[in-house]
Amino acid sequence: MTDPIADMLNRIINAQAVSKESVSFPFSKIKFEMVSLLQREGFVQNVEKKGRKEKRIIKIDLKNNAIAGVKRVSKPGQRIYVQSKEIKFVRGGQGLAIISTSKGLMTEKEARKNRLGGELICQIW
């Protein structure tokens, strides 16, 4: 697995496609921060860490059809960076872009408001 973030996003989309109530995947700080953002924005219902240090996982409870699609923008082989002025709305404001800034992960709205640019991780709608 060369891209753990893309793997996490695929697991979420696939679980939602087959109407699963929850999905789990290996823990990392960036993944936990991303799904916490998704919970705060209303795309997932519940987020929790489980297990001990070596075998920690993240388990999320999905909302029915809350996520219609995902696009991984910045990839390990091709990083995409944007300035705060270049940040665009996702699907006319209906979606969400996750940006890794110097102040941590945030949505495109928060980054634009704080005038911060960074790596455009993904878009979710």
**90 touches 97 (CB < 8 A):** yes
CATH 3.30.1370.30 region(s) of the chain?
2-60
CATH label, 68-122, candidates 3.40.50.2300, 3.40.640.10, 3.30.1490.10, 3.40.50.80: 3.30.1490.10
Can you give the pLDDT at residue 120? 98
Could you give the dihedral angle defined by the CA atoms of residues 48, 71, 109 and 113, in that order, rounded to the nearest 10 degrees? 110
- What pLDDT band is residue 1 in, cutting at 50, 70 and 90? low
**25 touches 31 (CB < 8 A):** yes
Alpha carbons within 13 angstroms on the beta-carbon side of residue 122 total 21
- In tens, the pLDDT along 92-106 reads 888 999 999 999 999
Q: Does 2-60 carry CATH code 3.90.1150.10?
A: no
- State percent of the chain over pLDDT 70: 99
- In tens, the pLDDT along 36-88 reads 999 999 999 999 999 988 899 999 999 988 999 999 999 999 999 999 999 99
CATH 3.30.1490.10 region(s) of the chain?
68-122
Residues contacting 112, CB < 8 A, separation 6+: 84, 87
**What mean pLDDT, rounded, does the chain reach?**
94
Burial of 59: CB neighbours in 10 Å, binned 0-12, 13-18, 19+: middle
Integer Cα distance of 36 and 45 in angstroms: 10
Q: What is the mean pLDDT of residues 15-35?
A: 96
Can you give the pLDDT at residue 75? 93
Can you give the pLDDT at residue 64? 87
